[in-house]
Amino acid sequence: MPIYKAPVDDTLFILNDVLGIERYHNLPGFADVTPDMTAAILGEAAKLAEEVLFPINLSGDQEGCKRHEDGSVTVPKGFKEAYDLYREGGWLGLAAPEEFGGQGLPYTLHTAVGEFMSASNMSLMMYPGLTQGAIAAILVHGSEEQKRAYLPKMVDGTWTGTMNLTEPHCGTDLGLLRTKAAPNGDGSYRISGQKIFISAGEHDMAENVVHLVLARIEGAPDGVKGISLFIVPKFKLDASGEPGERNGVSCGAIEHKMGIHGNATCVMNYDEATGYLIGTENKGLSAMFVMMNEARLAVGMQGLSIAEVAYQNAASYARERIQGRSLSGPKAPDKKADPIIVHPDIRRTLMTIRAFNEGGRAFTLWTALKSDIAHRSDSEEERRTADDILSLMTPILKGVLTDKGFDHAVMAQQVFGGHGYIEEHGMSQYVRDARIAMIYEGANGIQALDLVGRKLAMNGGRAVMALFKEIGDFCEENRGDEKLSGYTKALKKGLNDLQAATMWFMQNAMAKPDNAGAGSTDYMHLFGLVVLGYMWARMAKTAEEKLAAGETQRADYLKNKLITARFFMERILPETELRKIRIETGADTMMALDAAAF
């Protein structure tokens, strides 16, 4: 059976020692965030994750969701009880505003907790995950009346939320969408059309489901300029604000899919359902983007979370599985063979996943902290600078951590040999579950195009230049420190590759846009490697300082951190050069074959 232990200590190291979140006590919601309180929250979250959510992960995968004749959907055994505990613990509203029943704590803490929960049971955590995205969109674009009507029940998890973009003929290109909205004359609309692949679209864990639906108002322009966003509740609210009459929305089918079996992926039919406009007519896409940006960070975190649980299982298996002898002589002479963890190739696998996970955790929390600053600081300058980095990092975090999350789930499965392919060990589930994170919330190829096509040039390249300067300054400031020079040298080399690739795009992509498309995925990964390298250099600096200051309690942990930092710098970061070379070859060969020749 699979195992999972939430990485509480590593998360605390990043939050307290590397990012120093206590320093942000002036931000709303941060005042009480002391190391003790952070440890208490993470400890409780770990308990819920390990003891409640994790034990029903594998059974949830095997059982899946069931749709009944009447269109209702039942989630796997144990999910409702576990969701109730999650809801009652106030976890859904941890970072939501207090005026709607949330706790107003940092989004950074919410993200830290989210990793534990998602690693334990990604399918189950998608129900509240989508609710959080819907809450964010209503908070930013909803009317006061809509906020009062929907948010308190969504924040406490009594009602869940969904996002409805995709239609059978329309996925990435939302300009093609056909779902219609006809005005009723009383401010509401009749919504008709079909949405597919709707996560958490129907289930039996909540009293109501609040669908956020993209549709085109009659007479609106074609393309993305004619799309509006609507709230379509499963049950319309009665005079007292409680779920009343059933609305004209139903689940026509649930998809039979590769993974996340515990999450109901639904075909949703809208048959003159009553909907209420959120925000301005024809500005639905920007309202939905609030939700999608939040969701993209959460999906990046899903990639990390699955890679972490897969890693823990692979490491445990490698310590126990006896096979072959160490190249440098027997390590377990009393046994007929050594545990496979003695083999360098198994070490390569485990160290690679570990280095990405610990770096990815720092990357995720650093980005989440930027989100807190961007949304909560009272200084306009601070908000702007943080928002620049947040916008730039969103496609990188989503794309890199989910591409790697899947690769690393496969690598962890490989450590099990044939046993990884057998369902009962759980490794197959991790591979299957991790795969979707590369696809939804904008397939990763689209994240790469967003980075190269929009984010790089945003505000005249202000964000990218600020980040290059921050990383460059870090290398410069620590250049003379003998203990850190190995890390900063490698990081500087990676930064040089990134700057050269960025310059190449500037010179070669404007005149020939295919060059941008051809290099975009490599660029996203090149950028991700440098940011991970920056996280590793900062973690190494902190670990060196703590050890030099005589910290004994965590000495082993800190020494292991430094070994992993060196591994990242030596064996992973140099990939930046290969990525740069690929980018600089441009699009010519890639585009040369006739379509019919493929």
Structure tokens at 163: 């996002």
Tell the residue number behind the tokens 């940092």, with chain if given: 106
Q: Which stretch binds ligand FAD (CB under 6 A): 93-101, 440-448, 574-582, 590-598?
A: 440-448
Stretch that binds ligand FAD, among 47-55, 138-146, 366-374, 439-447 (CB under 6 A): 439-447
**Site size with ligand FAD, rule: CB under 6 A:** 19
Residues near 112 by Cβ (< 8 Å), separated by ≥ 6? 11, 15, 42, 45, 365, 368
449-468 binders of ligand FAD (CB under 6 A):
449
Taking CB under 6 A as the rule, does residue 197 contact ligand FAD? yes
Q: Which of residues 263-282 bind ligand FAD (CB under 6 A)?
A: 265
Give the residue with the Cβ less far from ligand FAD, 174 or 465: 174
Within positions 119 to 138, which residues make up the interface with ligand FAD, using CB under 6 A? none
Calpha distance 580→301 (Å, rounded): 26
Q: Which of 115, 202, 441, 544 is catalytic?
A: 441
CA atoms within 13 A on the CB side of 499: 13
Please state the closest distance from residue 281 (CB atom) to ligand FAD, in A.
20
Name which of 39 and 439 has its Cβ closer to ligand FAD.
Answer: 439
Q: In the structure encoding, which two tokens stand for residue 485, read together?
A: 């020079």
The tokens for 1 are 């059976």
Q: Which residues contact 22 (CB under 8 A, 6 or more apart)?
A: 16, 33, 34, 35
We find the least distance from the C-beta atom of residue 174 to ligand FAD, in angstroms, to be 9
- Amino acid in position 243: P
322 Ramachandran zone, left/alpha/beta (phi>0; psi -120 to 50)? beta
Name which of residues 166 to 195 contact ligand FAD (CB under 6 A).
166, 171-172
255 labelled catalytic: no
- Taking CB under 6 A as the rule, does residue 439 contact ligand FAD? yes
| Cα 242 from Cα 161, distance rounded (Å) | 16
Rounded least distance, CB 295 to ligand FAD, Å? 9
Nearer to ligand FAD by Cβ, of 449 and 509: the residue is 449
Q: Which of 117, 392, 436, 509 binds ligand FAD (CB under 6 A)?
A: 436
364 touches ligand FAD (CB under 6 A):
no
For residue 429, with 0-12 CB atoms within 10 Å meaning exposed, 13-18 middle and 19 or more buried, which class applies?
A: buried
Q: How far is the CB of 506 from ligand FAD (least distance, A)?
A: 21
| 199 lies in the site for ligand FAD, by CB under 6 A | yes
Q: Does 587 bind ligand FAD (CB under 6 A)?
A: no
CA atoms within 13 A on the CB side of 447: 35
Task: Tell me the closest approach of the beta carbon of residue 211 to ligand FAD, in angstroms.
Answer: 10
CA atoms within 13 A on the CB side of 219: 3
Minimal CA–CA distance to 283: which of 226, 213, 223? Answer: 226
Give the range of 106-114, 163-171, 231-239, 529-537 binding ligand FAD by CB under 6 A. Answer: 163-171
For residue 446, state whether it binds ligand FAD (rule: CB under 6 A). Answer: yes
Residue among 284 and 442 whose Cβ is closer to ligand FAD: 442
| Sequence-ordered strand ranges (E) for 353-454 | none
Cα atoms in the 13 Å half-sphere on the side-chain side of 345: 8
Q: Calculate ∠ Cα 513-516-518, nearest 5°.
A: 110
Can residue 523 be called a binding residue for ligand FAD (CB under 6 A)? no
Nearest to 193 by CA among 173, 219, 218, 210: 218
- Tell whether residue 252 is a contact of ligand FAD (CB under 6 A): no
Nearer to ligand FAD, 209 or 314 (CB): 209
Q: Does residue 151 interact with ligand FAD by CB under 6 A?
A: no
Tokens of 337: 């063979």
Among 97, 183, 248, 445, binds ligand FAD (CB under 6 A): 445
CA neighbor of 39 nearest in space, from 3, 69, 13, 72: 13
Q: What's CA 235's distance to the chain center, in Å?
A: 30
Shortest distance, CB of residue 507 to ligand FAD, whole angstroms? Answer: 22
Pairing outcome for strands 180-183 and 188-199: antiparallel
**In the chain, how long is the greatest CA-to-CA distance?**
83
| Choice from 86, 276, 416, 440 touching ligand FAD (CB under 6 A) | 440
- The region of 49-57, 435-443, 459-467, 584-592 touching ligand FAD under the rule CB under 6 A is 435-443
The CB-of-591 to ligand FAD minimum distance in angstroms stands at 13
Segment interacting with ligand FAD (CB under 6 A) among 57-65, 165-173, 240-248, 281-289: 165-173
Beta strands in 158-262, from DSSP E residues, in sequence order: 159-164, 180-183, 188-199, 208-217, 228-233, 235-237, 243-246, 249-254
**Cβ-closest residue to ligand FAD?**
171
List contacts with ligand FAD (CB under 6 A).
163-166, 171-172, 197-199, 257, 265, 436, 439-440, 442-443, 445-446, 449
- Residues with a known catalytic role: 441
